[in-house]
Structure 1
Amino acid sequence: MAASALEIEKNPKFRALVAARKSLGWTLSIVMLAIYFGFILLVAFNKELGNLLGAPLGAGSVTTVGIVIGLGVIVSAFILTGIYVLRANAKYDELTRQIVEESK
């Protein structure tokens, strides 16, 4: 017979899984917010940086430094997502499997 939801919630491994996922999720969210808002606030309040961001990458180039840094902000979101997925595949999936096995 399968375990009830209450029995699973009382499992120490389940509580550890929930706490670990929550901690990593909040940490990565805060990092992403710091990257995004840091970029926006620097552009808004630092005129010298604003001028630098508008500078072309090279002579005759239409791509600016700001576009490259903006793409870096977007790429950082993919990297942080990758970190979460790697951690989930390496640690959380194993804990989930153990919890399921114990609840059978």
Structure 2
Amino acid sequence: MSVIIASKIQSNPKYHELVKRRNTIGWSLSAVVCVMYFGFTLMIAYTPDILTAPIAADSVIPVGMIMGFGIIVASCLLTGVYVYMANKTFDPIIADIVQEASK
């Protein structure tokens, strides 16, 4: 990519809006994941009795194991949300920006 095209892209208002939206979504999803992981870690430290309780009276599976599995699944789903948004929302905007800069 030439310097001229790069400067056209950086001066495009759509580019600045794209960067702002992408950063907002990325940081928001990262914050959700951090809250889940740190919340789980704090539960391990301060309420281990809740995490070690069985999910049912006759079960050997603790609540903490289900929560840990849920956190992993939620993290994968949030990654999928970001990828979906990137493909459906951000990529068309990027294509428009590059096309405008190439003129």
Query: Is TM-score (shorter-chain normalized) higher than 0.5?
Result: yes
Unaligned runs of 5+ in 1: none
Displacement of 1:85 after TM fit? 1.1
Residue 8 (structure 1) aligns with = 9
Contact between 1:2 and 1:103, CA under 8 Å: does it hold in 2? Answer: no
Displacement of 1:60 after TM fit? 6.0
Displacement of 1:74 after TM fit? 0.7
Unaligned runs of 5+ in 2: none
Residue 64 (structure 1) aligns with = 62
Counterpart residue type for residue 22 of structure 1: N
Displacement of 1:55 after TM fit? 2.4
Q: Deviations over 1:45-82 (max 9, x none)?
A: 22xxx223212334664422111110011111011111
CA distance in 2, matches of 1:74, 1:3: 44
Residue 26 (structure 1) aligns with = 27
TM-score, length of structure 1 as denominator length: 0.85
CA distance in 1, matches of 2:91, 2:57: 51
Q: Paired residues, what number? A: 101
**Structure 1 residue aligned with 2:97, among 90, 96, 99?**
99
Residue 75 (structure 2) aligns with = 77
SS at match of 2:23: helix
CA distance in 2, matches of 1:56, 1:18: 46
Q: Which runs of 4+ in 1 moved over 6 A?
A: none
Displacement of 1:83 after TM fit? 1.1
Query: % of aligned pairs identical?
Result: 42
TM-score, length of structure 2 as denominator length: 0.85
